[in-house]
A and B are shown apart, each in its own frame.
Chain A
Amino acid sequence: MESERNTHLRRILVATAEVAPTERPRPTRRVVAAGLAAFVLAGALTGGAVAVASAADPTVGNDLTNYATLALGTAGTLIGEPHTFTGPGRAELTIPPSPRDGDRLVIVTMCHANADLTLRLDDDVIVDGDCHGNGAAVRSVSRNSAHTVTAWAAGRYAVFASWFTDEPKPEASEQEEHDLSDGVVTREEYVAAYSRFAGCMAEAGAALPPIDLGTTSVFDAGSPDSSAVGLVAQERCLSREFGDVDRVWQVDHTR
């Protein structure tokens, strides 16, 4: 028989994945942020259409950037210009030395249906075989030299590579720590945490659209700014002010 603890923990884990901030259109209870509404990752993963069509397609570049940001989570922040390729065919991405202190590369692949993919970073074979959906790999390499990502697949695919810095995301603010200390988030704490989050976003140059704090039951933490500035600001501001409070609130109030 399932224990109460396992049932509760499972519910938290399911909610954690469902309320993750940047990767997908919001559940129907939330307002879908315009910048993220076009994000096709979910379609890619569930067998829907993937817009892997053209090396110049900016939508694919944005999707890959989004996925890389998502995959890094709190582990790091993308820096510099990302490099992308969409195929079929052979890709060769030359990654110049890191623009600053990052010494790790994140490489993301997005395959349409099943592709037989070969992916290398310099001489390191990362993938050699079936590829379906999305995948991310992280490698530590010298930041002072250029590196080469090569990929080949007969089917449609996209590959993305970018330096990132693993400078940790900010810890929760003292106020958020206090809000979470008793394991319960009150409505007042939830509203105040969102307000601090919105202030943090505005300060970073990625202001959120105004919402009615009095009537909205679950606040949308998605930024309409899907640029690197917006995504990075969102990750950092969520880490500091709102992410854990939002998770606890939603676990308690959305089922």
Chain B
Amino acid sequence: MSETYDETDWAAALSGDGEGFGRLFDRHRTRLYRHSIRLVPVAADADDVVAIVFLEAWRRRAEVRFVDGSLLPWLLVTATNAAGNLSRSARRHRALLKKLPPGEHHPDHAEGFDDGEAQAALARLSLADRQVITLCVLEGLSEREAADSLAVAMGTVKSRLSRAKRRLAQQFSPAAEPAPAMRKEAHHGV
């Protein structure tokens, strides 16, 4: 499993082996992009979120945590936070972001993640609620994995998740067609 290599690659990066950081990027960037594009208005912003997450991982390396050997949950949490206030998140790294060429976006790919009303409803949640929804519902992490990622008790995740789902549900009229994000929730059985 790739997760078993995350800690090793991270330790290598901390020792000055830059390729260790490169391997972590290779392993997780696609999943992070898919996650981020649900949280921002345009695909180019998701590119920036991915870059910011890895730059922040290095800057805040004391806070990086692994869940069952995987860095991915921490990266997802950081992406959620960065997407929530992209302009502030980008400020610190703007010199490097400016150096990056634009991403290559395929319209049909982006549309595949357009969850419409559900995405807008998600954006209206508080950061705490958005974090648990994205981790537990959209990314399919267990409540324990989410708790470890967020450094909170599992009971806190349960209560936040319940509250967030209630608030999301309140934003839809009963007669409305369930939005794609809601259908994903059903697939994950939460």
Contact = CB atoms under 8 A, between A and B. Distances in A.
Interface of A: 3-6, 8-10, 12-18, 20, 23-25, 27, 41-42, 44-46, 67, 70-76, 106, 133-136, 138, 180-183, 244, 247-248, 251
Nearest to B97: A183
A134 B101 CA distance: 35
Interface string B1-32: 00000011001111111111110011001000
B16 A75 contact: no
Nearest to B93: A244
Contacts of A24: 15-16
B15 A71 contact: no
B59 A12 contact: no
Contacts of A6: 25, 29
Interface string B127-145: 0000000000000000000
A71 B62 contact: yes
Contacts of B61: 70-73, 75
Nearest to B16: A24
B14 A13 contact: no
B15 A42 contact: yes
Secondary structure dominating the interface of A: helix
Contacts of B21: 13-14, 16-17
B16 A9 contact: no
B54 interface: yes
A14 B58 CA distance: 11
A23 B99 contact: no
B25 A13 contact: yes
B15 A46 contact: yes
A5 B103 contact: yes
Nearest to A183: B98
Contacts of A4: 101, 104
A73 B58 contact: yes
Interface in B43-82: 47, 50-51, 54-55, 58-63
Contact of A5 (B17, B26, B102): B102
A42 B106 CA distance: 42
13 contacts: A5-B102, A9-B25, A16-B58, A18-B16, A27-B16, A45-B12, A45-B14, A46-B17, A73-B60, A74-B60, A76-B62, A133-B8, A136-B62
B186 interface: no
B96 A248 contact: yes
Contacts of B175: none
Contact of A12 (B8, B14, B60, B96): B96
A52 to B, nearest CB: 16
A55 B7 CA distance: 27
A183 B6 CA distance: 31
A248 B99 contact: yes
B95 interface: yes
A23 B18 contact: no
Contacts of A247: 96
A102 to B, nearest CB: 13
Contacts of B103: 3, 5
B49 to A, nearest CB: 12
A17 B26 contact: no
A91 B17 CA distance: 31
Contacts of A136: 62
Contacts of A8: 99-101
A72 B14 CA distance: 11
Contacts of B58: 13, 16-17, 20, 73
Contact of B95 (A27, A42, A138, A181): A181
B62 A9 contact: no
B140 to A, nearest CB: 24
A71 B14 CA distance: 8
A13 B54 contact: yes
Contacts of B60: 73-75
A72 B59 CA distance: 9
Contacts of A71: 14, 61-62
Contacts of B94: 180
